[in-house]
Amino acid sequence: NNLYELGNPWGRGIRKRAKWAEGLNVEEYEDQDVLLWVGCLGAYDDRNIKSARSLARVLENVDTSWGTLGADERCCGDSALQSGELMVFEELMDRNMKAIKRSKAGKIVTISPHCYNTLRNEYPEISDLGVEVLHYTQYLDELSSDLKLGKFESTVTYQDPCYLGRLNDVYEAPRNLLERIPELELVEMKNSRDSGICCGGGGGRFWLETEPEERLSNTRLEEALAVGADVLATACPFCLVNFEDSAKYLNVENEMKVLDISEIVLKSLENNGDD
């Protein structure tokens, strides 16, 4: 069992978990302001490594200090829990809680809404220890006055990840970040916020193969095109992968970019000072 033995769904080496940060100024957590929870996709999935690296670079532009658990981080256990593998989930939770306790972190910021929901709502010891858990969009929203944002000339629509929106009522922070970016027009899809359509990756379904023509992500991408957006933004690793797959399947890669909010914010920061 990859999750049980190696702490990630693909069975990749434990020591490779920190490889995503090569070449960046990413430290292991030692009493910094924030413990960044990278998650399995942020650490191992090629597409999501790009967005994790973008977030790391964005965090260099705000007044905060942060570190990661490096190779001590394990899968949060969301997929095991959703699949009914309770023994595996409890083992992962136990390993992670030992690492969190050793770190003495008071605030955890997650990249994935799935990790956010699991740590916040499924790890009872987190609240007992008084550890605050935030999604990165919430944290950046709190520190947004530090961000010197430049223009991002696009029409953007935002996908509410189910584990961020419907399960935890986090709707405003991601939109606040996007609305602060000059020249970015934010438009809403027909179904948004608590009526938004899942990308098809929730409830453990990310790991199941769905016929391309039956994917929910196709429907969502078509909704984004219908409102005139040229960028579909999200803040969830599962959404990012599913929507990029649908863009290829629907042959709309030239019409619609799929980006994580961290990538949009980074591009805006890079454009600061441009005419």
Domain final residue pick, 122, 142, 162: 142
Q: What pLDDT is stored for residue 34 in this prediction?
A: 97
DSSP letter (8 states) at residue 212: G
Q: What pLDDT is stored for residue 141 in this prediction?
A: 96
The CATH number linked to 85 is 3.40.50
Q: What pLDDT is stored for residue 260 in this prediction?
A: 98
Q: 65 and 93 in one domain?
A: yes
- pLDDT per residue as tens digits for the range 50-88: 999 999 999 999 999 999 999 999 999 998 898 889 999
Which residues in the chain come in under a pLDDT of 50? none
> Does residue 275 belong to any structural domain of this protein?
no
**Looking at 93-249, which runs of residues are DSSP E strands?**
107-110, 132-135, 154-158, 184-187, 231-234
Q: Which residues contact 212 (CB under 8 A, 6 or more apart)?
A: 218, 245, 249
Q: 125 and 37 in one domain?
A: yes
Range of the domain at 58: 2-142
